[in-house]
Structure 1
């Protein structure tokens, strides 16, 4: 995430530094101002409050991701290519920002990401037969999207995450292997 203004970047970085050591709900505007070593006026020139900082981070990251998803072809044949080759590097570079969003308001973040990006998965389930599997299509789509999102969040939440190249291998292995195969168990109905 690129931030042009030096003072705005200091505020965001101060917020991130503080959130690494304490619960976001306990961080005050004064804490951010003191940590960034800026004046109160400088803070309010850029943000109304810490929620405004979180919204700025979300919007900035979404904009970066949207620029990549624009390149998904009309048949959605290259969705996973765009995801692994273009989006994963952005997610990796912005992992500290994304971790804050995820930890601060995970249900809302999932809802936002789902409504914004799950449309790219819909074509993969065009031939899905609910009668054959006995699982409603909306549930399968939600589950699959959640698996992708949780795999990404588990990756970037590690103290030292795998490189993008290493994670791509893990990611493809995860989504192409059933959970029973991975766990080595048989689940009975």
Structure 2
């Protein structure tokens, strides 16, 4: 979700910077990317970059916020979907519209983005998964670790799929996840 700018020059410059970031992070570690790399790859002036962002960290923060807002939106839309639809649509989103988020959670990406996405998955697990699990968990601390267990498992699968180059299609991953996610989630995700 990009900010609502109307000046086409601003939109064009921001798009160039975002595309430069995507190009660079697809092949390099986030720590090795400099503002100068972004400026050179985007083919813009130094002043143009700094009119839009304070520094590289500001760019990353804005892109991370945009990417996480997109995944939150897709998860909200899929909240009442059956398990297969949920998995397919989420994976399809990450492979296409959410490609930036995929890059940010990859090994080249941002620890902050990974932590934020894990936290969001934990919140989703607490409200959308835990109530449907057949378990003997009774105390708040047991519930906490149950949420951590399921959310880290979900994040781990996404992270591995991204880091291995998304070799499986969203449809193939949906079938795999359908088999490995416990049966009690059949239509509750």
Is the CA contact 1:11–1:33 (under 8 Å) kept in the aligned structure 2? yes
Q: C-alpha separation between the residues in 2 aligned to 1:139 and 1:158? A: 28
1:91 and 2:90 equivalent?
no
Aligned to 2:130: 125
Cα distance, 1:20 vs structure 2: 3.2
Q: 2:25 matched to 1:19?
A: yes
Q: Does 1:171 align with 2:174?
A: no
Match of 2:72 in 1: 66
Could you say what the CA RMSD is over the residues aligned between the two structures, in angstroms?
2.9
C-alpha separation between the residues in 1 aligned to 2:15 and 2:69? 17
Q: Does the 8 A contact of 2:30 with 2:110 survive in 1?
A: no
Runs of 5+ in structure 2 lacking a partner?
Answer: 6-10, 184-189
Counterpart position of 1:185: none
Q: Counterpart in 2 of 1:144?
A: 150
The alpha-carbon deviation at position 79 of structure 1 amounts to 7.0
| 1:31-54 deviation digits (Å, cap 9, x = unpaired) | 111111101121112222222222
Aligned residues: 170
Pair member with larger Rg: 1
Question: 5+ residue gaps in structure 1?
Answer: 178-189
Q: Distance in 2 between matches of 1:79 and 1:62?
A: 22
SS at structure 2 position matched to 1:70: helix
Whether 2:34 is the aligned partner of 1:28: answer yes
Deviations 1:75-102 (A, max 9, x none): xx54745632432221111464224322
Alpha-carbon shift at residue 114 of structure 1 (Å)? 3.2
For residue 19 of structure 2, give the secondary structure of its aligned residue in structure 1.
helix
Q: Secondary structure at the match of 2:110?
A: helix
Change (3 A) 1:95 1:71: closer
Quick one: higher RCO (CA 8 Å, sep 6+), 1 or 2?
2
What TM-score results when the alignment is normalised by the length of structure 1? Answer: 0.74
Judged with a 3 Å threshold, the aligned counterparts in structure 2 of structure 1 residues 29 and 150 are, in CA distance, closer, same or farther, namely: same
Alignment match, 2:164? 158
Give the TM-score normalised by structure 2: 0.74
